[in-house]
Structure 1
Amino acid sequence: MSTFSKSDFIYTSCYCEENVYKLCETLHEKFSIPLSKIYAIFISNEDKQVLFWKQKNQVDHFYPVVWDYHVIALIKGEKGEPNIIFDLDSTLEFPCDFNVYLLSAIYPRRFARIVQEHQAYFRVIPAEMYLSNFASDRSHMLDEQGNWLQPPPDYEPIKTKDCTMNIDHFINMTKNTSSNQYGTVYTLKEFIEIFMNH
């Protein structure tokens, strides 16, 4: 895991979906990681209130950050190798062992009750699918007057041949939905069963 550094990747605060898009590209193009091993993971819920600990924006280690959604990346390990998480907004080791990230950032045991009250869902998208289908014109980051809520990345907006904006499809956490464009939604329990290191 020490092969990687945050400085290897493009980062813009509050644009996690684009950060992960660029991270998937870099993992594949610079580090020769097969796209078949990389996943983008959108985390949200119907209330658009998911809790995260160990985040750069966290003011107090006890109180979590509340995101409307968050996006991370995962590399699936070969047999005997751990699954690892890439979260450019995390204060944990980078990248981080899946189990460590899960129990530190998503599901700290001592906060189990509050986590369950804000049940998160996980949309898991294979990287090749994500790179082929994701598009954002960044309009969700404009206020009513057309001003940026946060400064945008300095590269052109990401679009596909047919689409300039579809981020809502990725953030939508309708349970048990699956598609060949937007991946599959899992509960926390299902997500753990699929990716937890044993």
Structure 2
Amino acid sequence: MVQIPLWRQKASNRADGVVLWDYHVICVQKKGSGDTPATHLVWDLDSSLAFPCPLATYVLETFCPSFQTFSELRRCFRIVHAPIFLRFFASDRRHMKDSNGNWLRQPPLYQPIVAQDGTVHNLDGYFQIRATDAVTGTGVDVTNAVFTEKLGVVVTENQLEEFFSQIP
């Protein structure tokens, strides 16, 4: 499994806060309406940055775009609209167990998440992302897919901020 570096993470023991994640979940919120310019805020429970943090600051400080990584470590992002995610996501926590079925860490106290359609586990479909899954370009079709597709869309690091700037 590929691991991607993210900076300014609370789980780090390093001064720069870098951690290698195999997947990471954040929430991006659009704030503003009418004549007020839209601002996009990132809610990341694992970040040492402001909570919430402006998207542009988050990208700069967490992804460190100027830091050159190997091409196989190219970051991609699955964007799923929150109401769609809340209806379809499911996890029975199997990813938290070793090959013998023992817990790797103590599981959360709340019940496992079951999707509205009864699915008990589909986490793999959300975090398995290949660079070839990324959409080409942005626009109405990509935006519509985010609002309708169970797994949303995959964008590259270069498309991330542009994508959110086009959300109506």
Q: TM-score, normalised by structure 2?
A: 0.80
**Aligned to 1:56, which of 10, 23, 28?**
10
Larger Cα Rg: Structure 1 or Structure 2? 2
Question: Which of 58, 81, 94 is the aligned partner of 1:101?
Answer: 58
Aligned-pair CA distance for 1:48: 2.4
The letter for the 2-side match of 1:99 is A
Name the count of aligned residue pairs: 149
Which structure has more relative contact order (CA 8 Å, sep 6+)? It is: 1
Match status 1:149 vs 2:104: yes
The structure that is helix-richer by fraction is: 1
Gaps of 5+ in 2: 136-144
Runs of 5+ consecutive residues of structure 1 not aligned to the other structure: 1-46
**Structure 1 stretches of 4+ moved >6 Å:** none
CA deviations 1:67-100 (Å, max 9, x no partner) are 1110100101224131000000000000101011
Q: What is the CA-CA distance between 1:115 and the residue it aligns to?
A: 7.0
Separation in 2, partners of 1:63, 1:123: 23
RMSD: 2.1
Match of 2:134 among 158, 167, 176: 176
The 1:52–1:115 alpha-carbon spacing in structure 2 relative to 1, beyond 3 Å, is farther
- Tell me, yes or no, if structure 1 residue 166 matches structure 2 residue 135: no
Q: How does 1:133-144 map to 2 (within 5 A)?
A: 133-144=88-99
Alignment of 1:1-198 (within 5 A): 47-62=1-16, 64-78=18-32, 79-109=36-66, 111=67, 113-114=68-69, 118-160=73-115, 161-174=117-130, 175-176=133-134, 180-195=149-164
- Matches of 2:61 and 2:37, distance apart in 1: 22
- In 2: Cα distance, 1:176 partner to 1:121 partner: 7
Give the fraction of aligned pairs with identical amino acids, expressed as a percent. 36
Instruction: Describe the SS at the equivalent of 2:85.
Output: helix
